[in-house]
Structures are given as C-alpha cells and as structure tokens.
Structure 1
Amino acid sequence: MKAIVMTGVGGPEVLVPREVPEPRPGAGDVVIRAAAIPVLFAETRLRSGEYPLPVEPPFLFGFQAVGTVTEVGADVDAGLIGQRVAMATMGFGAYAEYVCAPATSVTPLPDGLSATDAAAVLMGGSVALTLLDTARLTGSETVLIEAAATGVGAALTQLAKNSGAARIIATAGGPAKIAHARKLGADEVIDHTDPSWPTHLHETLTSTTLDVVFDSIGGPTAAALLDTVTPLHGRILSYGFLSGTPAQISAADLIPRGLTLTGCAGPHWLTRVAQSRPAALNLAAAGTLIPQIDSILPLDEAATAHHLLESRTPLGTVILTPTQA
C-alpha cells in the first residue's frame, strides 16, 4: 500500500510517499480502508521536532483517519467489518491507504455524514465540546475565542452561542480570517497579527470584561489579557500555544485577581476529548456544526499540506485522500 513515511525531523520534505506492507490487526485492533485523513496543526509541530516523537523515525505518520473497516483482530466484534468509522492512532500510521488502530479508538459515523466532513470536525469539534463543557457557560458570559477562523477555534465559534455565550469576541489573523470568523458567529473580531491586539481588545470591551478566555495563542500576550478578565469569576482555558510557548502566567498573576487557569492537556484531558468524538460527529450530521474544509489533496501531497498549514492561510481543515479510496 502507499503511505507517508516521516524520514526524520525537519521540514515538510521529510514526509515521503513510500510503498509499505499493509497493516495486520493484532488482538483488539481494527484496520480501515482510509477515505479521508485530516492534517492537524499538532502534526506539523511533531514533524518539526517541537513535540516529542511517539517512536524514532522512520515511521508512518499521522494521528487520525476516516474510512471503512476491512479487518478486525481477536477480541473485536466482527460486526464492525464494513462499517464507516473514524479512528485515532497511537500517534503514528494514519497517513496511509490502510490504517490500524485499537478498536477502543473507533467511532462509528452517523448516517449521512461524509468521510471528508467527519475528518474535518473530528479533532476541532471534539476539543471544542470538551472546552465548552469545562467552561460551564451559563448564558450571560462574554467570551474570547483566540484563532477563531480555523480548527478548534472555528468549532468553538460555531458552538459557543448554543452553549451559553452571550457575546463572542474573537481573534483571527488577517482580513480573510477576520471575515470568516464573523461568518462563523463571532460578534466582534480583532486581528491578532497586530502586536498591539490586547490594547484593541481593551477598547472593544469598553466597560465590560471577559468571563471566559479560550487561549490557544499563549506566550506573553496571555498576561496582557489578565486585566480584561472578570475579577473573582473569570476563567482562562489554555489549550494551545500558537505563539510557540504556553501562556506565560503564574499563580502570582492569578491569585490577586481571583482568576482561574485550567490547563487543557495531558492524558486525562485527551480521554475526555476522545469521549466527545461521537457528539461532535452527531452535531455535524445534524447541521449544527458545519465542517470547514479548506482543501482536499491526494495522499502523495502530504508535504504540500504541511506547507499550507504552516503558512497559516487555510480557512478550514486540509484533508488527504488516498487514490484508492
């Protein structure tokens, strides 16, 4: 079969198409014939060496895939064969025509939801739902959603109103993404490519404050937002660091203001995200969560897909499709 092998740590060029043996399921495993493979921003960080590798290169790359079950291992219900499912790997192996992963990672696709649409909401939708559940919105909150035009931010922007946000202030990078964030449901949008964007946020808020901050940028700007957050009740959910570093906030910053910061990462958090996958797919099938797809590329063009993500230009998920699918 054809697959994408990460030959070493580096730029997108280390992702190389190769012919490799088809995977065989071990006990508790499922093999799917892949139809759609989402390209995730976290994968670009893994490939570049910023995140720890699951195994040493060379290895088959990729986190998630959507397709049809073709084979199951021992102790797995044979009734899964022929079903359309989404699956998450153990950190490698998804950029391929056939993908093997534990049966516990498999989520059936709702009727009427295409493989590409499922791939587009699988990560962003499940993370957004977990963030909203953690935020416990009551219906009166003003929220800030950073990087609201793509990925998790796009799903958050679509779902926040239904989850209780009274006012959604978003950030996005550049005119096209600003317009897209507004289309997704943001009430106001600030350009976070402007280094002084926290000042613009102060001006946008006027006499109000932020009850919840969904922080995906991190870095030094996180501290610049603290005085815009509602004293005693404000909460910051930190789930990403597009700036390159986590939010640079200490307990000494939070305690005098009575604020909380929740770190949305680690194995327990990821377990909750995995549990949200069925709900995310069902919302997409119902039309409540609209899949945002930027482009669909052949599997061979995985390196091109990574170039696209690192350019920060896509307005939605970039998806790879094997030619046989």
Structure 2
Amino acid sequence: MQAILLTATGSPDVLVPGEVPAPRPQAGELLIRTEAIPVLFPETMLRSGAFPLPVQFPIVFGTQAAGVVIEAGAGADTTLLGQRVLVSSNTFGTYAEQVSVPAQIAVRIPDNLSSVDAAAVTMSASVALPLLETAKLTGTETVLIEAAGTGVGAYLTQLAKEFGAARVIATAGDPEKAEQARGFGADVVIDHSVPDWTNHLRETLGGATLDVVFDSIGGESALALLDLMTPLRGRMLGYGFLSGTAAQVSTMDLIMRGLTFIGCSGPDWLAGVAAARREALERAAAGSITPLVDRVLPLDQAAQAHRLLADRVAKGTVVLTPANP
C-alpha cells in the first residue's frame, strides 16, 4: 500500500511517498481504510525535530485519520465493520491507505458529516471544547483569543459566546484570517503580526481589562498581556507556542498581579481532549461549529501540506486523501 515515510527529522522534504506492507489487525484492533487524513500542526513540530522522536527511521508518519472499518481483530467490536470512524494513533502510521489501531480509540463519524470535514474538525475542536470548559466563563467576561482565524482559535471563537463570553477580542496574522475571525463571532480583531500588537490591544480595551486569555502564541507577548488582565480573577490558559517558545511568564509575575496561569498540556489534559472528540464530531454534524478545510491534497503531497502549514498560509486544515480510498 502507499504510505508517507518520515525518513529523518528536518524540512518537509523528509516526508517521502513509498510502498509498505498493509497492516494486519491484532487482537482488539480495527483495520481502517483511510479516506481523509488531517495534517496537524503538532505533526509539523515532530517532523521538524522540535520534539525528540524515540523511533528508528523510516516510519509511516501521521497521527489521525478518518476512514471505513474493513476488518476487526479478535475481540474487537464487529458492529463497527463498514462504519466510518475517526482514529488517533500514539504510534503514528496514519499517513497511509490503511491503518490498524486499538478499537477503543475509534469514534464513529455521524452519517451526515463527510470524512473530510470529520478529519478537519476533530483535532482543533476537541482542544477548544475543554479549553472553554476549563475557563469557566461567567457570561459577563471579556476574553482574548489568539490566532482566531484558523485552528483551535477559530473553534474557540465560534463557541466562546455560547460558553459565556460577553465580549470576544481576537488576534489574527493577516486580513483574510481577521475577516474569518469576525465571521465566527469576534467583536474586535487585532493584527498580531505587528511587533507592538499588545499596545494596540491596550488602546482597544480603553481602560477595560481581559478576564480570560487563550494563549496559543506564548513567548514574550504573554508577559505583556498580564498588565491588561483583570487583577485577582484574570486567568490565562496556555496551550500553544506559535512564537516558538512557551509563555515567558514566571510565578512572581502572576503573584504580583493576582493572576492565574493554567497550563493545558500533559497526559491528563490530552485524555480530556480525546474524550471531547465525539462531541466535536456531533457539533460539526449538527452545524453548531463550522469545519475549516483549507484544501484537499493527494496523499503523496504530504510534504507540500507541511510546507503550507510551516509558511502559515493555510486558512484551515489541509487534508490528505489516498489515491484509492
């Protein structure tokens, strides 16, 4: 079968199409014929070498896929045969025409949701939902959502007022993404591509403060935001570092302002993200969130998909499709 091999860490060119043996489902596993494979930002970080990969190269890359269950291993749920499911793999292997995964991680895709939309929405929306639940918005608060035009930020923006935001201030890196954020419910959008964007935010607030910050940029801007947050009850949820580094915020920075920083990562956090996948798919099927698909590319163009994400030009998820789904 065709698959995309990660031959080393480095530039997108380390992703190479190749032929590998088709997997066989072991006990408790399901064999999936993939139909849509999302290219995820964390995958680009792993591919680049930003995080260590304790594997021997080459490996079949990829962590999520949507497709049809075509075989069940011993003890696996046979009622899923012929059903479309979304799967996530901790051991990679999803950039391929077929993938075998533990049956318990398969989430059935609603009938009225396409495999491409399911692949596009699941990762980012299933992060946004626990972020909003953790924030515990009160219905009267002003929130800042960074990088709100795409990815997790776009789904946060779509859902923030439902979860209790009174005013949504968003950031985006270009006019098209800013317009997309406005369409998803942002009241104001700030351009975070300019160096002094936090000063523009201060002017926009006009003396008001931020009650909740959903921080996906990290870096030094996170520290600059602390002085714009509501003393004693302001909270920052850190879940990303698009700047290249995590939020440069110390304990003393928070203590002196009476603020809370909530780190949204680690095994327990990821378990909550996994648990939210079903709700993400159901919401997309019901229309309460809009899946963001930038484009659909053939599987053998995985390297190009990674370039699009690295260059920050994608306005949604880039989805790969096998030649013979």
* Bin of the TM-score, shorter chain as denominator length: over 0.9
- 2:177 corresponding residue in structure 1: 177
Give secondary structure in 1 for the equivalent of 2:282.
Answer: helix
- 1:164 corresponding residue in structure 2: 164
* Contact persistence 1:144–1:212 (CA under 8 A): yes
Task: Give deviations 1:114-161, integer Å, cap 9, x for gaps.
Answer: 001101111011000010011011211100000111110111110111
Q: Which amino acid aligns with 1:110?
A: P
* Contact persistence 1:147–1:173 (CA under 8 A): yes
Q: Percent identity?
A: 62
Instruction: Kindly state the Cα deviation for residue 194 of structure 1 after the two structures are TM-superposed.
Output: 0.3
Measured in 2, the distance between the counterparts of 1:75 and 1:133 equals 35
- 1:85 corresponding residue in structure 2: 85
- 1:112 corresponding residue in structure 2: 112
Give secondary structure in 1 for the equivalent of 2:227.
Answer: helix
Instruction: Kindly state the Cα deviation for residue 215 of structure 1 after the two structures are TM-superposed.
Output: 0.3
Q: Which amino acid aligns with 2:158?
A: Q
2:253 matches 1:245: no
Q: Which amino acid aligns with 1:30?
A: L
Measured in 1, the distance between the counterparts of 2:111 and 2:10 equals 40
Instruction: Kindly state the Cα deviation for residue 91 of structure 1 after the two structures are TM-superposed.
Output: 3.9
Q: Which amino acid aligns with 1:190?
A: I
Q: Which amino acid aligns with 1:130?
A: P
Map 1:63-212 onto structure 2 (within 5 A): 63-212=63-212
After TM superposition, the runs of 4+ consecutive aligned structure 1 residues lying more than 3 A away are: none
* Contact persistence 2:233–2:259 (CA under 8 A): yes
Measured in 2, the distance between the counterparts of 1:126 and 1:189 equals 24
- After TM superposition, the score normalised by the length of structure 1 is 0.99
Instruction: Kindly state the Cα deviation for residue 54 of structure 1 after the two structures are TM-superposed.
Output: 5.0
Task: Give deviations 1:163-203, integer Å, cap 9, x for gaps.
Answer: 11111101110111111111111110111110100101101
Measured in 1, the distance between the counterparts of 2:82 and 2:2 equals 21
Q: Which amino acid aligns with 1:11?
A: S
Q: Structure 2 unaligned runs (5+)? A: none
Q: Structure 1 unaligned runs (5+)? A: none
Task: Give deviations 1:238-290, integer Å, cap 9, x for gaps.
Answer: 00000011001011000121111111011110000000000000000000010
* Contact persistence 2:28–2:74 (CA under 8 A): yes
Pairwise CA RMSD:
0.8
* Contact persistence 1:54–1:91 (CA under 8 A): no
* Contact persistence 2:126–2:280 (CA under 8 A): yes
Instruction: Kindly state the Cα deviation for residue 52 of structure 1 after the two structures are TM-superposed.
Output: 2.2
- After TM superposition, the score normalised by the length of structure 2 is 0.99
* Contact persistence 1:90–1:101 (CA under 8 A): no
How many residues were matched structurally? 325
Give secondary structure in 2 for the equivalent of 1:134.
Answer: helix
Measured in 1, the distance between the counterparts of 2:187 and 2:57 equals 45
